[in-house]
Amino acid sequence: MKITGPPFKRILIANRGEIAVRVIRACREMGIESCSVYSDADRRALHVLMADRAWPLGDPVSRNSYLNIEKILDAARAMDCEAIHPGYGFLAENAGFARQVEESGLTFIGPPAACIEAMGSKTAARQAASDAGVPVVPGAMSHVSEDELEKLTGRIGYPVLLKATAGGGGKGMRIVRDPQGLDAAFRGASSEAGAAFADSSVYVEKYFENAHHIEVQVLFDNHGHGVYLGERECSVQRRYQKVLEETPSPFIDDAIRATMGECAVRLASAVGYRNAGTMEFLVDDQRNFYFLEMNTRLQVEHPVTEMVTSIDLVKEQIRLAAGDALGYGQHDIHPRGHAIECRIYAEDVENDFLPSPGRIVRLDEPGGGPGIRNDSGVYEGFTVPIYYDPLISKLVAWGRDRAEAIGRMRRALREYHVTGIKTTIPLMHMILAHPGFVAGNYSTSLIDRLTARRRGGEHVEDVALAALAVQLLENRRAKSGPASGSHGAASAWKRFSRAESLRKR
């Protein structure tokens, strides 16, 4: 089936921020009217100002607004929408929401509820992967009780990782390196999982030091045809949350890349998957890969895949949800060049990454140039609310090779200035200056090493990197006049963050 003309007349976007803006832009290009929803805190948000229509949800608290299924469905009916795009986060992987959308006669732009359920439980997904012949991390195939834990961890071998059966985002996760810490870690993980996901069940798996977190993007139509669109290296993480992503991975070769992709397609096919999804893998230092979980939605880091494949994943989601055939096979996928994404959060790097809500007094975004893209959800004068995830934009750089992509990203970051709130831009400078990152020789422990402190002082490597970053910034500003600010006895890290926050004269 090939759809001619817009697949839908009007789509409701059940989300906020940069992803809502991203979907609005795809709708406009396809000739589809976009409808936003907003809480009281987002009344003047960019996604509200850009949409063709917008509907208030009231209370800023998520459970009373963006997580309130009845309010979302009422808004869709009130604005006469035909489909709902959930974005990511909030209700995107809520099988109950997808089912209610389907039952209401609307189209859910994502996988069917049954697919979300099948892959939503990490233990069920692990079992499905094992049944499909895809290697999984050694560990439990179902949740474990406190009584079973000691025997199971003894068989797996320390260190182990306790993980919440439901949910994600690093919540309900604990690394355990010896038997003495097992009971307390189990109780902590279980309590946190119960509070975050209303499900306190926990399972255990082997923890690999210095591992790589690599994911594979898949697309499937309603006729069972599917492809993989390469992989994304997602190993730059802090507290299990991704901070920077790139594609292709500098760690694996073409043979492993193809095998991982084939495994991802095989597993998705086995569970009858439809629409866009991502298979997440852990790769050890010997380049053995293991299935971790599936994200049954669009990923935050999808732009890097779009940059190297020239495939608009949001448009693909929309047309596949409307019943259009995929229209191409694996032999038609030819990724080109290299892309890197930096997630820019409203967080205070110097203050343990605490959220930094508030009014954006001045905003200078990167001035473009070849290969630069900035998916932003804010504007100068907007007040970043305290209620939601502090991601404000995603800066993406593409190059013909990795070196060119890094160079373009460094240049773009030096053009990116925000005042009024703190951001993670200084951290991005630090990562891009790290010799391990530049060499493509890094793992999920990179940020821990980068920001670690020895008792009585900082790591020499950290000081050198911070000093280098400060010098680059000061050299740039020296051409137009001296920069203000105290440099006396402040640490290199603090000097770097302070220098970055100064305006270019």
Q: Which helix (H) or strand (E) holds 499?
A: helix 492-501
Report DSSP letters for 64-129, one per residue: GTTT-HHHHHHHHHHTT-SEEE--SSTTTT-HHHHHHHHHTTPEESSS-HHHHHHHHSHHHHHHHH
Return the SS3 of 307.
helix
Report the alpha-carbon distance of residue 497 to residue 349 in Å, rounded: 8
Output DSSP code: residue 219: E
| Other beta carbons less than 10 A from residue 31's beta carbon | 11
Cβ(474)–Cβ(449) below 8 Å: no
Question: In terms of Cα–Cα distance, which of 310, 211, 299, 293 is closest to 252?
Answer: 211
Beta-carbon contacts of 366 under 8 Å, excluding residues fewer than 6 positions away, are: 372, 374, 395, 412, 413, 415, 416
Report the alpha-carbon distance of residue 374 to residue 368 in Å, rounded: 9
Return the SS3 of 248.
coil
* Residue type for position 125: A
Report the alpha-carbon distance of residue 24 to residue 11 in Å, rounded: 9
Question: In terms of Cα–Cα distance, which of 13, 8, 19 is closest to 313?
Answer: 19
Question: In terms of Cα–Cα distance, which of 376, 423, 391, 383 is closest to 60?
Answer: 383
Cβ(32)–Cβ(9) below 8 Å: yes
**Directed axis angle between helix 182-197 and helix 146-156, to 10°?**
120
| 198 Rama class: left (phi>0) / alpha (psi -120 to 50) / beta | left
| 386 Rama class: left (phi>0) / alpha (psi -120 to 50) / beta | alpha
Report the alpha-carbon distance of residue 97 to residue 73 in Å, rounded: 9
Number of helical H runs and strand E runs in the chain? 17, 24
Kindly tell me the burial class for residue 321, based on how many C-beta atoms sit within 10 Å of its own C-beta (0-12, 13-18, 19 or more).
Answer: buried
Q: Is the dihedral of CA 90, 94, 96, 101 positive or negative?
A: positive
Catalytic residue among 297, 343, 408, 495: 297
First to last CA, the chain: 57
Residue 100 phi, psi (nearest 5): -65, -35
Question: Does residue 359 carry a catalytic annotation?
Answer: no
Q: What residues are labeled active site?
A: 297
